[in-house]
Structure 1
Amino acid sequence: MLKVKDLMTTPVFSLKETDSLHSARSLMELQRIRHIPIVTVDNAFTGLVTHRDVLSATISQLAGLDPETQKEIDAGIPIREIMCTDITSVEVDSPLKEAAQLLLNHKYGCLPVVRKGELTGILTEADFLRLTIKLMDALDKEEG
Protein backbone atom coordinates (compact mmCIF):
# COMPACT_ATOMS: atom_id res chain seq x y z
CA MET A 1 0.00 0.00 0.00
CA LEU A 2 1.35 3.42 -0.97
CA LYS A 3 1.95 5.85 1.87
CA VAL A 4 2.04 9.65 1.86
CA LYS A 5 5.85 9.53 2.26
CA ASP A 6 6.08 7.72 -1.11
CA LEU A 7 4.68 10.71 -3.03
CA MET A 8 5.19 13.83 -0.91
CA THR A 9 7.54 16.61 -1.95
CA THR A 10 10.54 16.98 0.31
CA PRO A 11 12.34 19.06 1.31
CA VAL A 12 9.55 21.59 1.56
CA PHE A 13 9.92 25.37 1.38
CA SER A 14 8.58 26.90 4.59
CA LEU A 15 8.60 30.19 6.45
CA LYS A 16 8.38 31.27 10.10
CA GLU A 17 5.44 33.22 11.58
CA THR A 18 7.73 36.25 11.93
CA ASP A 19 8.65 36.29 8.22
CA SER A 20 6.92 38.93 6.12
CA LEU A 21 4.29 38.93 3.41
CA HIS A 22 7.10 40.09 1.11
CA SER A 23 9.07 36.92 1.97
CA ALA A 24 6.05 34.77 1.10
CA ARG A 25 5.43 36.56 -2.19
CA SER A 26 9.11 36.32 -3.16
CA LEU A 27 9.35 32.62 -2.27
CA MET A 28 6.20 31.81 -4.25
CA GLU A 29 7.47 33.66 -7.32
CA LEU A 30 11.01 32.28 -7.11
CA GLN A 31 10.03 28.64 -6.54
CA ARG A 32 6.78 28.75 -8.55
CA ILE A 33 4.72 27.38 -5.64
CA ARG A 34 1.27 28.23 -4.32
CA HIS A 35 1.44 26.92 -0.74
CA ILE A 36 3.92 27.67 2.04
CA PRO A 37 3.73 25.81 5.35
CA ILE A 38 4.54 27.98 8.37
CA VAL A 39 6.69 26.53 11.15
CA THR A 40 8.17 27.50 14.49
CA VAL A 41 11.93 27.73 15.04
CA ASP A 42 11.76 24.04 16.04
CA ASN A 43 10.09 23.16 12.70
CA ALA A 44 6.70 22.46 14.32
CA PHE A 45 3.91 22.99 11.78
CA THR A 46 1.67 25.91 12.81
CA GLY A 47 -0.14 27.10 9.69
CA LEU A 48 -0.24 27.67 5.96
CA VAL A 49 -0.08 30.62 3.59
CA THR A 50 -1.55 30.16 0.13
CA HIS A 51 -1.24 32.22 -3.01
CA ARG A 52 -4.84 33.30 -2.43
CA ASP A 53 -3.92 34.56 1.09
CA VAL A 54 -1.09 36.61 -0.40
CA LEU A 55 -3.39 38.10 -3.04
CA SER A 56 -6.05 38.91 -0.43
CA ALA A 57 -3.49 40.79 1.67
CA THR A 58 -2.19 42.77 -1.30
CA ILE A 59 -3.33 46.29 -2.06
CA SER A 60 -5.07 46.30 -5.42
CA GLN A 61 -3.05 47.31 -8.45
CA LEU A 62 -5.90 49.72 -9.10
CA ALA A 63 -4.57 51.79 -6.17
CA GLY A 64 -1.65 52.72 -8.40
CA LEU A 65 1.11 51.82 -5.94
CA ASP A 66 4.56 51.50 -7.40
CA PRO A 67 6.33 48.14 -6.81
CA GLU A 68 8.76 49.63 -4.24
CA THR A 69 5.93 50.99 -2.09
CA GLN A 70 4.11 47.64 -2.30
CA LYS A 71 7.34 45.88 -1.26
CA GLU A 72 7.72 48.20 1.76
CA ILE A 73 4.13 47.57 2.84
CA ASP A 74 4.52 43.79 2.38
CA ALA A 75 7.76 43.80 4.37
CA GLY A 76 5.87 45.24 7.36
CA ILE A 77 3.17 42.55 7.43
CA PRO A 78 4.14 39.43 9.39
CA ILE A 79 2.99 36.06 8.03
CA ARG A 80 1.14 35.31 11.28
CA GLU A 81 -1.31 38.10 10.31
CA ILE A 82 -2.43 36.37 7.10
CA MET A 83 -1.73 32.65 7.62
CA CYS A 84 -4.44 30.06 8.20
CA THR A 85 -4.00 27.99 11.34
CA ASP A 86 -6.96 25.60 11.08
CA ILE A 87 -5.19 23.40 8.53
CA THR A 88 -5.58 19.68 7.97
CA SER A 89 -2.27 17.84 7.80
CA VAL A 90 -1.38 14.19 7.32
CA GLU A 91 1.21 11.92 8.88
CA VAL A 92 4.03 10.54 6.72
CA ASP A 93 2.76 6.97 7.16
CA SER A 94 -0.88 7.75 6.30
CA PRO A 95 -2.30 5.77 3.37
CA LEU A 96 -1.93 7.74 0.14
CA LYS A 97 -5.51 6.94 -0.88
CA GLU A 98 -6.85 8.61 2.29
CA ALA A 99 -4.79 11.72 1.54
CA ALA A 100 -6.13 11.79 -2.03
CA GLN A 101 -9.68 11.54 -0.72
CA LEU A 102 -9.05 14.44 1.70
CA LEU A 103 -7.73 16.63 -1.13
CA LEU A 104 -10.65 15.75 -3.40
CA ASN A 105 -13.52 15.81 -0.89
CA HIS A 106 -12.49 19.05 0.82
CA LYS A 107 -11.06 20.73 -2.29
CA TYR A 108 -7.72 21.33 -0.57
CA GLY A 109 -4.81 22.36 -2.76
CA CYS A 110 -2.27 20.71 -0.49
CA LEU A 111 -1.72 18.74 2.67
CA PRO A 112 1.27 19.53 4.87
CA VAL A 113 2.96 16.29 5.92
CA VAL A 114 4.09 15.93 9.52
CA ARG A 115 5.81 13.42 11.77
CA LYS A 116 4.91 13.99 15.44
CA GLY A 117 3.89 17.57 14.64
CA GLU A 118 7.11 18.41 12.81
CA LEU A 119 6.88 19.41 9.15
CA THR A 120 8.55 16.84 6.88
CA GLY A 121 7.00 17.49 3.46
CA ILE A 122 3.98 18.59 1.47
CA LEU A 123 1.53 16.72 -0.72
CA THR A 124 -0.09 18.71 -3.53
CA GLU A 125 -2.44 18.21 -6.44
CA ALA A 126 0.64 18.41 -8.69
CA ASP A 127 2.14 15.36 -6.93
CA PHE A 128 -0.97 13.37 -7.83
CA LEU A 129 -0.88 14.61 -11.42
CA ARG A 130 2.75 13.42 -11.70
CA LEU A 131 1.69 10.03 -10.33
CA THR A 132 -1.18 9.85 -12.82
CA ILE A 133 1.18 10.59 -15.72
CA LYS A 134 3.59 7.87 -14.54
CA LEU A 135 0.73 5.38 -14.32
CA MET A 136 -0.50 6.32 -17.81
CA ASP A 137 3.05 5.93 -19.16
CA ALA A 138 3.25 2.47 -17.59
CA LEU A 139 -0.08 1.51 -19.17
CA ASP A 140 1.07 2.81 -22.56
CA LYS A 141 4.22 0.66 -22.33
CA GLU A 142 2.14 -2.42 -21.49
CA GLU A 143 -0.12 -1.83 -24.49
CA GLY A 144 2.72 -0.97 -26.89
Structure 2
Amino acid sequence: MNPVKGMRVRDIMVTKPVVFTSDTDLLDAVSTLVDRHITGAPVVDARGNLVGLLTERDFLQATLVAGYHGERGGCVGDYMSRDVEAVNADDSLLDVATRFIETKRRRYPVIEDNRVVGVVVRRDVLRAVMRAFELYSAG
Protein backbone atom coordinates (compact mmCIF):
# COMPACT_ATOMS: atom_id res chain seq x y z
CA MET A 1 0.00 0.00 0.00
CA ASN A 2 1.21 3.50 -0.86
CA PRO A 3 0.92 5.69 2.27
CA VAL A 4 0.75 8.87 0.17
CA LYS A 5 -1.99 7.72 -2.18
CA GLY A 6 -4.92 9.14 -0.20
CA MET A 7 -3.26 12.43 0.73
CA ARG A 8 -4.62 15.69 -0.68
CA VAL A 9 -3.14 19.14 -1.13
CA ARG A 10 -5.38 20.45 1.67
CA ASP A 11 -3.59 18.07 4.06
CA ILE A 12 -0.27 19.91 3.72
CA MET A 13 -0.93 23.37 2.25
CA VAL A 14 -0.16 26.60 4.04
CA THR A 15 -3.65 27.84 4.86
CA LYS A 16 -2.89 31.49 5.56
CA PRO A 17 -0.30 32.38 2.94
CA VAL A 18 1.29 35.73 2.33
CA VAL A 19 -0.56 37.38 -0.55
CA PHE A 20 -0.10 40.68 -2.35
CA THR A 21 -2.32 42.89 -4.45
CA SER A 22 -1.27 44.37 -7.79
CA ASP A 23 -0.85 47.80 -6.22
CA THR A 24 1.42 46.63 -3.38
CA ASP A 25 4.71 48.52 -3.46
CA LEU A 26 7.33 46.22 -4.98
CA LEU A 27 10.00 46.96 -2.37
CA ASP A 28 7.51 46.33 0.46
CA ALA A 29 6.57 43.00 -1.14
CA VAL A 30 10.18 41.91 -1.50
CA SER A 31 10.90 42.93 2.08
CA THR A 32 8.02 40.68 3.16
CA LEU A 33 9.38 37.77 1.10
CA VAL A 34 12.82 38.17 2.66
CA ASP A 35 11.50 38.62 6.20
CA ARG A 36 9.25 35.56 5.92
CA HIS A 37 11.93 33.42 4.22
CA ILE A 38 9.70 32.64 1.25
CA THR A 39 10.53 32.78 -2.44
CA GLY A 40 7.20 33.94 -3.82
CA ALA A 41 3.58 34.71 -3.10
CA PRO A 42 0.23 34.83 -4.92
CA VAL A 43 -1.17 38.14 -6.10
CA VAL A 44 -4.92 38.57 -5.63
CA ASP A 45 -7.62 41.08 -6.51
CA ALA A 46 -9.99 42.68 -3.98
CA ARG A 47 -12.11 39.49 -3.87
CA GLY A 48 -9.18 37.18 -3.25
CA ASN A 49 -9.13 35.87 -6.82
CA LEU A 50 -5.76 34.80 -8.16
CA VAL A 51 -4.36 37.29 -10.69
CA GLY A 52 -0.64 36.57 -10.57
CA LEU A 53 2.42 35.41 -8.69
CA LEU A 54 5.41 37.43 -7.48
CA THR A 55 8.66 35.50 -7.22
CA GLU A 56 12.28 36.27 -6.47
CA ARG A 57 12.89 35.89 -10.18
CA ASP A 58 10.32 38.60 -10.95
CA PHE A 59 12.04 40.93 -8.50
CA LEU A 60 15.46 40.26 -10.01
CA GLN A 61 14.00 41.07 -13.42
CA ALA A 62 12.57 44.31 -12.00
CA THR A 63 15.97 45.15 -10.53
CA LEU A 64 17.66 44.68 -13.90
CA VAL A 65 15.05 46.82 -15.67
CA ALA A 66 15.29 49.52 -13.00
CA GLY A 67 19.08 49.52 -13.13
CA TYR A 68 19.10 49.80 -16.90
CA HIS A 69 16.55 52.62 -17.01
CA GLY A 70 17.69 54.33 -13.82
CA GLU A 71 14.30 53.76 -12.22
CA ARG A 72 13.41 52.47 -8.79
CA GLY A 73 10.38 50.80 -7.30
CA GLY A 74 7.03 50.23 -8.89
CA CYS A 75 4.13 48.01 -8.00
CA VAL A 76 3.80 44.25 -7.79
CA GLY A 77 1.40 44.34 -10.76
CA ASP A 78 4.14 45.78 -12.97
CA TYR A 79 6.42 42.77 -12.48
CA MET A 80 4.35 39.79 -11.35
CA SER A 81 3.96 36.69 -13.49
CA ARG A 82 0.44 36.66 -14.91
CA ASP A 83 0.49 33.20 -16.45
CA VAL A 84 0.03 31.33 -13.19
CA GLU A 85 -0.70 27.66 -12.72
CA ALA A 86 -2.62 26.74 -9.60
CA VAL A 87 -3.81 23.55 -7.96
CA ASN A 88 -7.01 22.70 -6.14
CA ALA A 89 -7.18 21.82 -2.46
CA ASP A 90 -8.65 18.40 -3.31
CA ASP A 91 -5.95 17.48 -5.85
CA SER A 92 -3.96 14.40 -4.88
CA LEU A 93 -0.52 14.89 -3.44
CA LEU A 94 0.89 12.46 -6.01
CA ASP A 95 -0.54 14.52 -8.88
CA VAL A 96 0.94 17.71 -7.47
CA ALA A 97 4.31 16.02 -6.88
CA THR A 98 4.28 14.99 -10.54
CA ARG A 99 3.51 18.57 -11.58
CA PHE A 100 6.41 19.84 -9.48
CA ILE A 101 8.73 17.44 -11.27
CA GLU A 102 7.42 18.27 -14.74
CA THR A 103 7.35 22.06 -14.37
CA LYS A 104 10.31 22.71 -12.05
CA ARG A 105 8.15 25.17 -10.09
CA ARG A 106 8.72 25.78 -6.39
CA ARG A 107 5.17 26.61 -5.34
CA TYR A 108 1.58 26.55 -6.48
CA PRO A 109 -1.23 28.74 -5.24
CA VAL A 110 -4.10 26.58 -4.03
CA ILE A 111 -7.49 27.78 -5.21
CA GLU A 112 -11.16 27.01 -4.75
CA ASP A 113 -13.48 28.86 -7.15
CA ASN A 114 -10.41 30.86 -8.29
CA ARG A 115 -9.95 32.24 -4.77
CA VAL A 116 -6.61 31.65 -3.07
CA VAL A 117 -7.09 29.39 -0.05
CA GLY A 118 -3.48 28.35 0.41
CA VAL A 119 -0.07 27.65 -1.06
CA VAL A 120 1.69 24.34 -1.52
CA VAL A 121 5.47 24.34 -1.72
CA ARG A 122 7.69 21.65 -3.19
CA ARG A 123 9.54 21.18 0.10
CA ASP A 124 6.24 20.64 1.96
CA VAL A 125 5.36 17.84 -0.46
CA LEU A 126 8.74 16.23 0.11
CA ARG A 127 8.36 16.55 3.89
CA ALA A 128 4.86 15.01 3.80
CA VAL A 129 6.00 12.10 1.64
CA MET A 130 8.95 11.38 3.93
CA ARG A 131 6.75 11.55 7.03
CA ALA A 132 4.14 9.24 5.48
CA PHE A 133 6.76 6.64 4.57
CA GLU A 134 8.36 6.86 8.03
CA LEU A 135 4.99 6.23 9.68
CA TYR A 136 4.26 3.41 7.24
CA SER A 137 7.64 1.77 7.91
CA ALA A 138 7.27 2.09 11.69
CA GLY A 139 3.71 0.79 11.73
TM value normalised by structure 2 = 0.84
> Could you tell me how far apart the structure 2 residues matched to 1:20 and 1:38 are?
12
* 2:96 corresponds to 1:99: yes
**1:73 positional shift:** 2.2
Letter in 1 for 2:104: K
* 2:22 corresponds to 1:17: yes
**1:135 positional shift:** 3.4
The equivalent residue for 2:80 is 83
The equivalent residue for 1:34 is 39
| Number of aligned positions between the proteins | 131
Question: Which has the greater radius of gyration?
Answer: 1
Please state whether the residue corresponding to 1:27 is helix, strand or coil: helix
Please state whether the residue corresponding to 1:120 is helix, strand or coil: strand
The equivalent residue for 1:53 is 58
Structure 1 unaligned regions, length at least 5:
64-71
The equivalent residue for 1:73 is 72
Equivalent pairs: percent with the same residue?
Answer: 25
TM value normalised by structure 1 = 0.82
Structure 2 unaligned regions, length at least 5:
1-5
Give CA-to-partner distance per residue, 1:119-143, whole Å, 9 cap, x none.
000011121232144235436645x
Give CA-to-partner distance per residue, 1:5-48, whole Å, 9 cap, x none.
11111111000000011122111111000011000011111110
| Shift >2 Å, 4+ stretches | 135-142
